[in-house]
Structure formats: C-alpha cells, structure tokens
Amino acid sequence: MPDFRHKLEAFENRYPGREYKIEIVAPEFTSVCPKTGQPDFGTVTISYIPKAKCIELKSLKLYLQSFRNEGIFYENVTNVILDDLAAVLDPQWLKIEAAFSARGGITETVTVQHVAAV
Amino acid sequence: MPDFRHKLEAFENRYPGREYKIEIVAPEFTSVCPKTGQPDFGTVTISYIPKAKCIELKSLKLYLQSFRNEGIFYENVTNVILDDLAAVLDPQWLKIEAAFSARGGITETVTVQHVAAV
Amino acid sequence: MPDFRHKLEAFENRYPGREYKIEIVAPEFTSVCPKTGQPDFGTVTISYIPKAKCIELKSLKLYLQSFRNEGIFYENVTNVILDDLAAVLDPQWLKIEAAFSARGGITETVTVQHVAAV
Amino acid sequence: MPDFRHKLEAFENRYPGREYKIEIVAPEFTSVCPKTGQPDFGTVTISYIPKAKCIELKSLKLYLQSFRNEGIFYENVTNVILDDLAAVLDPQWLKIEAAFSARGGITETVTVQHVAAV
Amino acid sequence: MPDFRHKLEAFENRYPGREYKIEIVAPEFTSVCPKTGQPDFGTVTISYIPKAKCIELKSLKLYLQSFRNEGIFYENVTNVILDDLAAVLDPQWLKIEAAFSARGGITETVTVQHVAAV
Amino acid sequence: MPDFRHKLEAFENRYPGREYKIEIVAPEFTSVCPKTGQPDFGTVTISYIPKAKCIELKSLKLYLQSFRNEGIFYENVTNVILDDLAAVLDPQWLKIEAAFSARGGITETVTVQHVAAV
Amino acid sequence: MPDFRHKLEAFENRYPGREYKIEIVAPEFTSVCPKTGQPDFGTVTISYIPKAKCIELKSLKLYLQSFRNEGIFYENVTNVILDDLAAVLDPQWLKIEAAFSARGGITETVTVQHVAAV
Amino acid sequence: MPDFRHKLEAFENRYPGREYKIEIVAPEFTSVCPKTGQPDFGTVTISYIPKAKCIELKSLKLYLQSFRNEGIFYENVTNVILDDLAAVLDPQWLKIEAAFSARGGITETVTVQHVAAV
Amino acid sequence: MPDFRHKLEAFENRYPGREYKIEIVAPEFTSVCPKTGQPDFGTVTISYIPKAKCIELKSLKLYLQSFRNEGIFYENVTNVILDDLAAVLDPQWLKIEAAFSARGGITETVTVQHVAAV
Amino acid sequence: MPDFRHKLEAFENRYPGREYKIEIVAPEFTSVCPKTGQPDFGTVTISYIPKAKCIELKSLKLYLQSFRNEGIFYENVTNVILDDLAAVLDPQWLKIEAAFSARGGITETVTVQHVAAV
C-alpha cells in the first residue's frame, strides 16, 4: 500500500468540546488501475467529527494528488485514506466515500467509516 | 432460470475485519421479455458489505451481459442476480435494485436484499 | 365507486419466502373531476411486497386506463386502487401514491398504505 | 378527420398593427391510437403572431379536450390543429408542435407551420 | 391576526377509518410585509391525515388568496393557516410548510405541525 | 388600459455611444384576470439596448407591483409594459417577454419588441 | 453492411403538399462492437420532412432492434440507417443523429443528413 | 474572534408555546481567508426552533455582511455564528450549516448544532 | 470610475495567426451598490479572440477582486471591465457579460462587446 | 510543445463522399500547470467532418492520456490537439473545445477550429 500519510497536516480545533461535522468534497481525484494501467477518476468525500485536530486543506489536497500515478484498487485506496486520516486526526468519527467514474459502463462507490473507541 | 453464476469471479478483500459498503451501478442492462420477445432495458444497482471476498468488476460486466438474449421476467432476473452474487461472495449484506425502462407507459423497479445468517 | 377489479390479473411469485419490494410508476393516469367534468391527470406509484402473487403489468395498465372517463375524486380513486390491488394480490405490504397535476394553481398528492394482518 | 373547429373562440387583438408572438403550452393532451385503441399522451405547443384575432384560452382548452376519446394518428392530429387554428384566427404566422410520450420505447414530435399569404 | 377561516369548506372523508396522507402544494401564495409594505411571495405546502373531513380544494384556493393584500409576518401567517385548517378539519395530523422567496438575498421557510390530542 | 408610466424613473447612460444590452428578469409579477377575478402570476423579462437613458431598478419594481390588483389580459399587459418603457427610455431596441403560470393546465407566454425608428 | 431495410414499412402522408417535420427519438438502441465483441448502447434520433410517405413506428422499432447482435462501427450504423430510411421514405430532408454511451471514458455522436435532389 | 453579536436583533415570538421550525438560507456570505488573504464565498443555512424570540431578518443580513472583510477560518466562522445566535435568541434548538465554494478544487461544509439545556 | 487596469497582466499568444476563442467565467464577483451601500454579487463572463496577447488568469482574479469594496452601478462596472481588458489585450473581439443576483426580486444582466477596428 | 502525434491512428472512412459530423467528448482530460505544478482537469470536445479518414477511438484515448504529467498552458494544449488531429485526419472541418475546471474560482474554455483549404 502507498504511504503518503506524512503529507497530511492538522491544526488545532478551537471548539474541541463541541460535537460538529466537517464535510470535504474533492472531485478531482485520480489514480491508476493496477491491472490495466489505465487512469481512474473519482470524487472523494471526507466527513468527520473532530476531537483535538482538524485537517489542513492544502496538505489534504497535496496528499490526494500523491495517488495520481499510483496503481491501486478502488477498495484499497478508500481504506488507505481512512487509515491515514484516522491516524493523523484521531477524530470522534470519520467517513470516506469514494465514487469512481464508469469503466466498462459500470461505476463503483466505496464507503467506509471509523468510530473512535470509547 | 438461466445459470451464468460460473462467470462471476471474486478477489480477496484486503480489509476483511472492517465493515464497509461497495455500491456498483450498471446502467446498460438488457434482457428479453419472455412473453413478447421484446428487449427490456434497465439499470442494475448492486450494494454489498463484503466478508472475505469482493466481486471482480470485469467478470461482473460479462455476467450481466449474459442476460442480453435471455427471456426472463423482471422479478426473476433480480432474484437470480441476488442468488448468484450471494453464492459467490458470501457477503455480510447484499442488495439488488433493478430499475426497468417504461413499457406501455409504466416502469417497474424490483429491490431485494440478502443478510448473512448469524 | 367504480368497479374495475376484475381487470386485474396476478401471476405466481417465484420467490414467495423472500421479502422483496416491487415499485411500479404509471405517469399517464387520467380520470374526470365529478364536480366540474374536467379531466384530471396524475402519476400513480404502486409499491408492494408480494406474498404468493405478483401483479401482471399489462392487466394493470388496462385497469388504470378504465378510470379514463370515470368521474371520481382524488381521495377516492387512490383508496379504490388500494382496495382492488390488496384484494387481488393479498400482499404483505402495499402503498399507493397518486400525484395529481395542478388545478387552480394547486397540486394534490394522496398516499395510502395497506399492511397484511398478522 | 374529427371536426371540433366550432369550439374555438377568438377575441379581438387590441394591438393589431404590432407584430408580437403568443406561445401556448398545453401539456395534458390525450387522444387514442386508431390502430391499437391505446391512449396517447402528449404536449401541444401553439405559437402564433396574431393579425386581428387572438385565441380565447378556455375555448382552446375545451377544443383540445375534444380529442380525448378520438382515434387519430400523431401526424394527422397536429395538422388538424393547425388547420383549425389557422381558419379561426387567420394569423400572420402559426406553428404547432406536438410531442408525444414514448410508445415501445420511442417518442415522436411533429412540427408544422402556417404562414399567411402575402 | 386576519380571520379568513369561514372561507374554508370541508367535505366528508369516505375512508375515515383508514390512516392516509394528503399533501397539497400551493406555489402562488402572496401577502404583504407589514413593515415595508412590499409584497411577499411563497409556496405553501399543506400535509394532513384526515379524520372525518377533507379540505375542499376550491375553498382552500380562495382562502389562501385572501392574504393577497394582508400585512403579515412569515412566522405568523404559517401559524394562522395551521390554526384555521386544524379548526375546520380536526385532522389526526397536520403540517404547514411556507417557503418564502428571497428578500435581501435571504430566504426563509417556516414549518409547523399539529397533532390531535389522544 | 392602466396608466402607471409616471412611476418609471430613468438615469443617464454613461456609455451612450456604445451598443450594449441590459436584461432584467422579474419573476414575481402578479395581476388579476379581468374575466374571472382570479390572480395571475408570471415572469416578466425586459431586454433593451439603451440610447441616452437606463431604467432605474427600484422604480421598475414599484411600477410592476402596480399591476397587483389590476384586471388585465396577458396580451394587453405585455404591450402596456412595452409602450411605457419605450416612452420613458426611448431605447434603440426593447423586448418584453411575459410568461404566465398555468391556468386550466395551459401556460401562455407573450413576446413583443420595439425598434427605434431610423 | 447489414441489410434490414425490408423491415421498414411506410404509410401514406395525408398532408403531402405541406412542409412539416417529424422527429423520432429511440433511446434504447444497442449493437455490438465488431472489434471487441462488447455491446454498444446509444440514442438514435431521426428527423425528417416527409414527401409522400411517413415511417410506421412499430416497423421502425423492429428495424432498430435488428442491430442488437450485429457487429458494426458507430460511423457505419449511422450511415446505414440514413440510407435505409432515405430509400424507403424518399423524404424531402432526413437527419440521423446517433449518440453512443461512454467507452473508455469517451462518448461519440455521429450526425448525417440527406437532402432530396431538386 | 470577531464580535458582531450586537448587530443581531430579535422580535417576540407570537407562538411561544408551539414547537415550530424556521430555516433561513443566506447564499451570499463572504469572508476572507486569514492565511492567504483571498476572499471565501459560501452559503449559510440557519435552522432553529424558537422559544421566546425570533431573529429579525434585516439585522441578520447586516450581521452576516460584517464578515465581508474579516479574516477567519471556515470552522471558526460557523461556530461564531452559532454562539452569537444562541446568545441572542436562546432557542430550543439551533443548527448552522456553512457550505464554502471550492478552493484548490476542494469544497468544505461545516455543520454545528446547539440544544437548549433542559 | 475605479481604475484597476494596472493589475491586469498579459502573456504572449503562441498562436497569433489563428482565430480562436477563450471564455472565462468568474462566478464570485462582488461589488457594492453606490446608492444603498449593500453588497452586490454576480457572475462575470469574459469571451475574447486574442491577437498578440492573452490575459494571465491570476492577475485577472486579483483585478476582479479589486471591485470588492467599490461602489459602482451594474451598467458601469461591465463597461469598465470591457475598457480595461480591451486596453490591455487589444483583442480582435471581446465580450463581457455580467449577471447580477436578485435585488428586490429582480435580476439584471449587462452584456457589452468590443470589436477591433479594421 | 509536447509531441504525441504518433500515438494517433486513423481508419478509412467508408462514406467519404458524404458530409457528416462526428463529435467526441472526453471528460477525463488532465495535464499539469507549467507555472504551479498543480494538476489541471478538463473536458475535451472534438468535432469534425471527415474526408478520407476517421480517428480510431482507442488511440485517441491513449493520445489524450499522454498529457497526464505534461506541463502545458490551456491555450497551448488546445491548439496542439487541433494541429495533431488536423495532421493525422486531414479533415474537411475540425473543432476542439477544451473546458477546464475552476482554479481560483475561475473557469476557462478554449475553442479553436480548422477548415480545409479549398
């Protein structure tokens, strides 16, 4: 699995005691199919409830761009993004939804959640 | 009932312990009405939570194309796809929604779910 | 109330032990206002979970066309369709939604459900 | 051909010397297919530049409703409406566009114009 | 508060023992801002589950038109319509949603419900 | 015909030698049908190429509101607005398009132009 | 090139002296890629000005269905349909537009016209 | 944090004993990014259930305009608006959703709620 | 009139002998009404055929942002942008379309063109 | 300028004497900004009237993918694609429209045509 986690930067949440939701939509995600070498295109939607940290948007953009020439399956890239953001933010709740463009007339969307242990 | 189950191929889920959802939309499904011989057109949406296996998309495409010249009713084709995918994937949860184009000014959508036994 | 129930035909459900949903949308419904004699237009949406029987679509089309020159209020036609389909199909669950076009700048939608007695 | 022309009423154009356009859209047109007996549904759009007379909208509504149980082909009904309105209004210019709903998965739109002789 | 309640007429519900929903959308509501004297425009959506009575649509149209030159705030007009319909229909459940057009680049929607006492 | 022309105010065009177009859309127009007394609703679109003067928007808003309780036919109100704006602005070119909401399931749009004499 | 021309039937145009346009949209066209064997899907739009004959819609539907299992390129199928309809109808003007669904993330639309010789 | 709270004005709720919802959408919000100095644009949606007071719309408009040249992060501005409205209205329930336009191809929406203590 | 022309930068057109069109859409334009002091919002669309120079996009963004706190009428700002771009680019053809958001329920769009002298 | 022209393959036009149009839409184009190193995304629309040759779609897909990691300005990439396709196809007419996603809140579309010399 590719490791771009170090590119993610967080900043301090000014309202740590309050439960609120942040949703980020990145419609220009692209990676490469490891089987055919053809580019894949998709929209990545990141939703989370922060604890102490929020994701810095510019570092997130650069992190997502790192997959541009990476060969990786839909299911795996979605889970990798979840793991990386969970590690960097330690959020109360986190959801990744990756909706990929049609290939062979078929589209696929992968959705995965992370919930902080109590 | 037609038997195209052998065309479906699965690959190993890299995140088997994690509950996540995969949704696949195939808008170019076509079969034949067994009563009139006229072609039917529809969109098949497959949603599932994998256990050990994920469906390989190219094999799914070829599987769905097998119905192209098959005479089969809306209600039956939806249940056949459910049974075939449930057998091949043994998923935690699986839903098939098949939305057929208008015939005689009337459209029909059939939805069926499979839940793994505890 | 008009009685067109005999026009409805059912066929045997091949998957009677499985709980699945069928939704039928008929956007070309027309009847006549009993007060003004003016034609009414609407979309009738039928959703049901079958037990032993499914509705045959061609007979349903002819059944719905029977209201074409019938004078009947919105509220009543929706309930009549519910009663007729419940009697013919004996479904586990049935919902009728009839959405009528604007009259005097006002639209009306009537929704009614039937649940099988336990 | 059906003859409902007498149902159309005109009123005096208050601005006869000025070239202006009136467009009327009637989305609830219905007639019957003379071959199959099945109802047809469509949207009739009437555009005209009046000379001395404008069409009275309520009479137009009743005129269009007259086709409700009439068996007539798409091409003919469009031309009949053109001839009737041209005869009643004697307009400078008149266009009828009739867009019919899908039958057998196919839609048809017929468009015909009338220009006053110089 | 304006009192137009006497304009509302009800008719007998033919299916009083059955719980069903009626939704009415009136997109041509207009009143006057009591502060600025400027006209307000909005869409009033009325949903209810009838007991013994249903609202007669033509009387409802005339009732809503009564507010045309009435100076009244968004919050109040929504509650007045709720009170008037609740009094006339004595419904099992009633909801009024009034969505007003933008003023100063800002839109407001007021939603209020009534539930019959047990 | 109603006379609200005095309510319209113009301001000096700062670019009188340049041919440019101004389009104004007023979607909250309402008047009254002189035959039935029922309110009419519509969208008035005003397009013009100014000569020495431009229309002041607030005065235009108040001018259009003047028709609120006025009984006037679609065809006439459109021509009255054209005449009033042409008189006040003396534009190089002016077009009024008034699109009225459905009555009896039928909508009407009236379009009229004014071109300055050479 | 496939030859299904004999499936097309025409009927007599009742208004042969009048220039009017007929547009037919068939969104359920499917054929097979001769290179890959994969099914193609598209929408075929047929527009024409008739002379003595109009196309019979049911025969057109069956004609278009003939391409279902035929291997043929986008450019060729569009020109074949043009040639066949021109031969059967001898129209004053005829246009075929075939818009195919995405393959490899790319869509293609082919448009060709026929004009009667003077 | 900027302090514009004094600009907010409330008026007395005429229906204090009744639980109803008010939703306000302000699509013309703009502030400045404190990091880059670039303007941000967004839509602020305010939903609340009033107790004794409702927000006066004109004061709300002026309050939101105060952020026009203020440097503030997305997460903070959303929480500041929540705190200010909660302090001024003391509502039963309050939700702020701020959806910002794309920056670097990425959009962000922040949602936060306030519930009155029991 | 405000003078921000010096903020615009051009770069050399690599294809000066070829007639091609560049269209730029800037949906986040905002200025201030000189009469009321209220902010205006709009979308500025710039289309041009270059001669020797193309506009540099970042300088254009900063130029358009300069109007943020400037009091200027719709008609004037559109003409100022035309004059500034025509001076900096000396294009073969240039069109500015500025579509402003609703004020008092009314929207205005101003369109102006520049054609190079022969 | 990058040179990927050798990747383009053409096939023989079966209808060379007939003037018809082919439009190809490729919504998954991506290249890199030569100034910032950031990825650009856009939709490339290619329209042409063939003479002796048509473009082979798979080679076109691979050709367009070649720009994936290439640093090139919007204006230049559009003209390069025009030159390459004109050289390979020698078409009667050719148009390239490249619509790029927003950067800094601003989108740009470049359109260029080629017409065969007589």
Q: What is the pLDDT of residues H100-116, one digit of tens each?
A: 999 889 999 999 999 88
Among the listed residues H3, H40, H54, H90, the single catalytic one is H40
Q: What is the mean pLDDT of chain J?
A: 96
Q: Which two tokens stand for residue G31?
A: 């054929």
Q: What is the pLDDT, as a whole number, of residue H17? A: 86
Find, among E1, E46, E9, E55, the residue nearest to E27 by Cα.
Answer: E46
Rounded to 5°, angle at Cα I100 from I96 and I105: 150
Distance in angstroms (rounded) separating the CA atoms of residues B19 and A99: 18
Residues F59-114 have pLDDT tens digits of 999 999 999 999 999 999 999 999 999 999 999 999 999 999 998 899 999 999 99
Q: Which two tokens stand for residue E64?
A: 């809503």
Residues C13-51 have pLDDT tens digits of 999 989 999 999 999 999 999 999 999 999 999 999 999
CB contact under 8 A, B41 and D102: no
DSSP 3-state of J74: helix
| CA distance readout (Å), B113 to A107, B91, H103, J24 | 20, 11, 40, 39
- The answer to whether F30 faces chain E, any CB pair under 8 Å, is yes
Find, among E41, C102, I66, the residue nearest to F104 by Cα.
Answer: C102
Can you give the C-alpha Rg of chain F in angstroms? 14
Residues E66-108 have pLDDT tens digits of 999 999 999 999 999 999 999 999 999 999 999 999 988 999 9
Q: What is the pLDDT, as a whole number, of residue G1? A: 80
Find, among J91, J81, J84, the residue nearest to J49 by Cα.
Answer: J91
DSSP 3-state of F19: coil
Q: Is the pTM of this model over 0.90?
A: yes
Q: What is the mean pLDDT of chain E?
A: 95
DSSP state of A18: S
Among the listed residues D40, D54, D83, D84, the single catalytic one is D40
Instruction: Give one DSSP letter per residue of J44-68, joined into a string.
Output: EEEEEE-SSEEE-HHHHHHHHHGGG
Q: What is the pLDDT, as a whole number, of residue F9? A: 98
CB contact under 8 A, J14 and G109: no
CB contact under 8 A, D22 and F106: no
pLDDT at G65 over 70: yes
User: Which amino acid appears at position I56 of this protein?
Assistant: E
Residues 76-105 of G with CB under 8 A from J: 76, 78-79, 103-105
Q: Which two tokens stand for residue I9?
A: 């930068």
- The answer to whether G39 faces chain B, any CB pair under 8 Å, is yes
- The answer to whether H118 faces chain J, any CB pair under 8 Å, is no
Distance in angstroms (rounded) separating the CA atoms of residues G21 and D110: 6
Cα distance between the two ends of chain C? 28
Which run of H or E residues covers position J77?
Answer: helix J74-89
Residues B54-65 have pLDDT tens digits of 999 999 999 999
Nearest to A79 among B18, B27, B57 (CB): B18
DSSP 3-state of D48: strand
pLDDT at C71 over 80: yes
Give partners of D (≥3 CB pairs < 8 A): B, C, F, G
- Per-residue pLDDT, averaged over G47-51, amounts to 97
Is residue B33 part of the annotated active site? The answer reads: yes
Instruction: Tell me the chain B residues in contact with residue A111 when contact means C-beta distances shorter than 8 Å.
Output: 20-23
Distance in angstroms (rounded) separating the CA atoms of residues B31 and B41: 7
CB contact under 8 A, H101 and I69: no
Confidence of residue G118 (pLDDT cuts 50, 70, 90): low
Among the listed residues C33, C83, C84, C90, the single catalytic one is C33
Confidence of residue E118 (pLDDT cuts 50, 70, 90): low
- Per-residue pLDDT, averaged over G99-114, amounts to 94
Confidence of residue F118 (pLDDT cuts 50, 70, 90): low
Q: What is the pLDDT, as a whole number, of residue I117? A: 74
Distance in angstroms (rounded) separating the CA atoms of residues A5 and A67: 12
Q: What is the pLDDT, as a whole number, of residue A112? A: 97
Contact at 8 Å (CB) between C117 and E29? no
Instruction: Tell me the chain C residues in contact with residue E27 when contact means C-beta distances shorter than 8 Å.
Output: 105
Among the listed residues E3, E40, E84, E90, the single catalytic one is E40
Contact at 8 Å (CB) between A21 and A48? yes
Instruction: Tell me the chain H residues in contact with residue A20 when contact means C-beta distances shorter than 8 Å.
Output: 75, 78-79, 110-113
Distance in angstroms (rounded) separating the CA atoms of residues A23 and A21: 7
Distance in angstroms (rounded) separating the CA atoms of residues D44 and D29: 7
Higher pLDDT, H81 or I104: H81
Residues J21-49 have pLDDT tens digits of 999 999 999 999 999 999 999 999 999 99
Q: What is the pLDDT, as a whole number, of residue D50? A: 97
Is residue G33 part of the annotated active site? The answer reads: yes
Residues A31-49 have pLDDT tens digits of 999 999 999 999 999 999 9
**Residue count (chain E):** 118
pLDDT at G33 over 80: yes
Give partners of E (≥3 CB pairs < 8 A): C, F, H, I
- The answer to whether B30 faces chain D, any CB pair under 8 Å, is no
For residue C40, count CB atoms less than 10 angstroms from its CB and return exposed for 0-12, middle for 13-18, buried for 19 or more: buried
Mutate to test the interface with A, among H75, H81, H97 (most CBs of A within 10 A): H75
Give partners of B (≥3 CB pairs < 8 A): A, C, D, G
Q: How many CA atoms lie within 13 A of J23 on its CB side?
A: 13
Which residue positions in chain I have pLDDT lower than 50?
A: none
Identify the closest residue of chain E to I40 by CA–CA distance: E105
Helices (DSSP H) in H1-118: which residue ranges? 57-65, 74-89
| CA distance readout (Å), I97 to B64, I107, J30, J105, J106 | 49, 13, 28, 17, 15
Q: Which two tokens stand for residue D78?
A: 């469009």
Decide: G and A in contact? Rule: 3+ Cβ pairs under 8 Å.
yes
- Per-residue pLDDT, averaged over G28-36, amounts to 95
User: Which amino acid appears at position G1 of this protein?
Assistant: M
- The answer to whether E36 faces chain I, any CB pair under 8 Å, is no
Distance in angstroms (rounded) separating the CA atoms of residues A82 and A91: 11
**Tally of CB atoms within 10 A around D105:** 20
pLDDT at A118 over 80: no
Min Cα–Cα distance to chain G from D14, Å: 31
Distance in angstroms (rounded) separating the CA atoms of residues G86 and I43: 47
Q: Which two tokens stand for residue G115?
A: 């004009």
CB contact under 8 A, H109 and A23: yes
| Spatial CB neighbours of D98, under 8 Å, sequence gap ≥ 6 | D29, D42, D43, D44, D45, D74, D77, D78, D81, D109, D110, D111
Instruction: Tell me the chain C residues in contact with residue F103 when contact means C-beta distances shorter than 8 Å.
Output: 105
pLDDT at G17 over 80: yes
Min Cα–Cα distance to chain C from B85, Å: 16
Lowest mean pLDDT among D78-87, D109-118, I48-57: D109-118
- The answer to whether H27 faces chain E, any CB pair under 8 Å, is yes
CB contact under 8 A, F41 and C102: no
- Per-residue pLDDT, averaged over E47-67, amounts to 97
Q: What is the pLDDT, as a whole number, of residue B49? A: 97
Q: What is the pLDDT, as a whole number, of residue G117? A: 75
Among the listed residues F40, F54, F83, F90, the single catalytic one is F40
| CA distance readout (Å), C19 to B98, C13, C15, C16, I35 | 15, 11, 8, 8, 66
Instruction: Tell me the chain F residues in contact with residue D25 when contact means C-beta distances shorter than 8 Å.
Output: 106-109
Min Cα–Cα distance to chain A from H109, Å: 5
| Spatial CB neighbours of D57, under 8 Å, sequence gap ≥ 6 | D24, F103, F104, F106, F108
Decide: D and C in contact? Rule: 3+ Cβ pairs under 8 Å.
yes
Q: What is the pLDDT, as a whole number, of residue D13? A: 97
Instruction: Tell me the chain A residues in contact with residue J65 when contact means C-beta distances shorter than 8 Å.
Output: 38-39
DSSP state of H5: G
Q: What is the mean pLDDT of chain G?
A: 96
**Residue count (chain B):** 118
DSSP 3-state of G55: strand
Can you give the C-alpha Rg of chain B in angstroms? 14
Largest CA distance in chain G: 47
> Is the ipTM, as predicted for this complex, more than 0.90?
yes
CB contact under 8 A, H57 and E108: yes
Min Cα–Cα distance to chain G from J35, Å: 28
Strand E10-12 to E53-55 pairing: antiparallel
- Per-residue pLDDT, averaged over J88-104, amounts to 96
User: Which amino acid appears at position B62 of this protein?
Assistant: L
Contact at 8 Å (CB) between G23 and D109? yes
Instruction: Tell me the chain F residues in contact with residue D48 when contact means C-beta distances shorter than 8 Å.
Output: none
- The answer to whether H35 faces chain E, any CB pair under 8 Å, is no
Instruction: Tell me the chain G residues in contact with residue B38 when contact means C-beta distances shorter than 8 Å.
Output: 65
A/B interface, count of CB pairs below 8 Å: 52
Distance in angstroms (rounded) separating the CA atoms of residues I88 and I6: 9
